[in-house]
Structure 1
Amino acid sequence: MSEPIFREAYGRIVATLIRLTGDWTLAEDCAMDAVEAALQRWPRDGEPANPGGWLMTVARNRAVDQLRRAAVAERRLRELAPLEQPRPEPEGDDRLRLIFTCCHPALAMESRVALTLRTVAGVPTAQIARLFLVGEPAMAKRLTRAKAKIAQARIPYRVPSGPALTERLPGVLAVLYLLFTNGYDSSPERADEAIWLVRLLAQLMPDEPEVTALLALCLLQHSRRAARRDEGGELVTLDAQDRSRWDHAGIAEAVGLLAGRPVTGPYAVQAHIAAGHAIATDFAATDWPTIAAWYDQLARIHPSPVVEVNRAVAHGYAHGPAAGLGLLATVREAVAGYAPALAAEADLTARAGDPAAAAGLFRRAAELAGSDAERRALRKRAAAAGQLALGDAE
């Protein structure tokens, strides 16, 4: 079974079975049973014409069988019986219902995000644990506790309305954006899935600026996916990307979504920053003063060390490398051990005329990089700065 088929089917199966049975563990177990059945049968019998439908049918049948064997009440069996015959799906999408359930305020934010990643996107527990910098057993316990709390608190499986919808929105947006960023580089299909869910939320809340802004932000970031790596799979920095390979239709849609809408929150500001990069015909044409001003606003409404690093880079290009290095110095302790911060300092140091120091910073950043591709890219930049330093010495 291909990974895209798994990603597409898993979340749908789990969400639908949770709606029908109210049993999170049963839903996940039956989804995995269906996947295991496919791994056994498809190599022998061939992949079915509708892989997702096949998996859904097998998972539903497993759920019916397990409930029958467990002698579940007749009411629940009557609710599940129609599953054995095709029927129209309820209005909306079960995955969106599942996201709002996972994002209930009764759960801690990390639990909301982790639970949605696991149940909606099918992200392995080990990968979620790495994302949160905890061990896999600890993350497994956290997921179990979150599901138990949903059951004990009788959290409803639905999309809320009225004030509750507005109250729950920030958590949902955070989950959807993390779903997108989780797949942005390693899994374009997962990023596509997140964008689809954001579109669905935008239909539900067409007058909510931050929902529209998140859709625009995802579209703008995703527009560069074809140019972010070269033919050998190595990362390509923004200044060296072939902009003809960008998704200009997606960029146009995103810019249109932002036009005339108020900037009320961090997603809108980030979307305008991304748009500033996307509409530039080349790197030299980037309107860095405007982007730096947007980062100033983002730092005011959504302060964080990561924002300050990016703000320093923007100011370094808008007002000179010394300005950027000065801003970085104010958060150096907060970002100690953060590879992008060292890489930013290295880039600004090279532009300030000290390639030898820049080479050392790039090497230190490479040691802290989170992926092999990032490590290779930083080592390549370190080598280039080192060569420049040698040339200056001669």
Structure 2
Amino acid sequence: MQAQLQQRPYNFSAGPAALPAEVLETAAAEMLDWHGSGMSVMEMSHRGKEFISIYEQAESDLRELLAVPKDFHILFMQGGGLAENAIVPLNLSRGGKVDFVVTGAWSQKSAGEAKRYADVHIAASNEASGFTALPEPSNWQLRRDAAYVHLCSNETIHGVEFHEIPDLKALGSDAPLVIDFSSQQLSRPLDWSRVGLAFGGAQKNIGPAGLTLVFVRNNLLGHALQACPSAFNYQTVAQAQSMFNTPPTYGIYMAGLVFQWLKRFSYRGRNALAAIEQRNIDKAELLYSTLDGSGMFINRVAHNARSRMNVPFFLRDERLNDAFLADARERRLLQLKGHKSVGGMRASIYNAMPLEGVQALVDLMRDFEARHG
């Protein structure tokens, strides 16, 4: 099994994304019988002692890795980040005003969904730049009576990322900040003092699709609209320790294995989250420096907004797109085709992507340019 996993292709999917081979190997070994229980995790009662131990370890490891403060609840939910676009305003808007910072396709979707439940105001947008830059926070038009401010910290389609979470208090706002950090979570530390709620689907850096993580400050609970379904009411879910309904048990188990892998991870003298952040920096710098030095490939995102996680790029001669993708498949570099809404290419280089995978992509780009340039 180990040799087979080491020979796997490099998967650049934007999500569901690659998982660490070590994690997949452990899950395979435990598939039929978890720790002598006689059961697969898929077959366990979510209220049984076996699964409760899995859940408690996963929650503890995640809190440790991200240094989540004690006044934040960690909720293991379902529905993905897309469902949270409705669940957040159902819980926090109080039917009033909500401000949005629109920086790409996902924050656009979030704002559109929230309009069903609240008075939505676009406080800032980078649409005029083609979603290639970030709007300067000092220019945001925030309303003093907004129930919360929403932003997407990393846009997977357009490849822009907030490398520092804005401080709303410094901008004159007392509203809590809500961040969709689906494709950023666990790739770097987060300044929780600037955040009221963070949410994200697991299928980028954490595990399989089907699990959604919500981190919510205690004082934001208890304000759900009357129409909010009980299973989506953050207070109800928090009080039941994510067991109000049957949670995505296997997704939680897989996430827990990823958390344990990350706690063991070391790189260039660093450990755990600091190590994975440094490797993510190195991977992104390698790929962007290659793009910047190329006459054939181009990335259009402003340098200070470039995502470490999702790198969209384009061939100057798009007639060569199919040839490039064919060469990539031949070299076992998978899922590099860009999102259908923007075209081109996209390399998603989440935590599980090793530096060697990015180097393999860079080698292909250089060879392809030498042959076709």
Q: TM-score normalised by the shorter chain: which range applies?
A: under 0.3
Bigger-Rg structure (1/2):
1
Larger helix proportion, structure 1 or 2? 1
TM-score (norm 1): 0.24
Larger strand proportion, structure 1 or 2? 2
Greater RCO structure (CA 8 Å; 6+ sep): 2
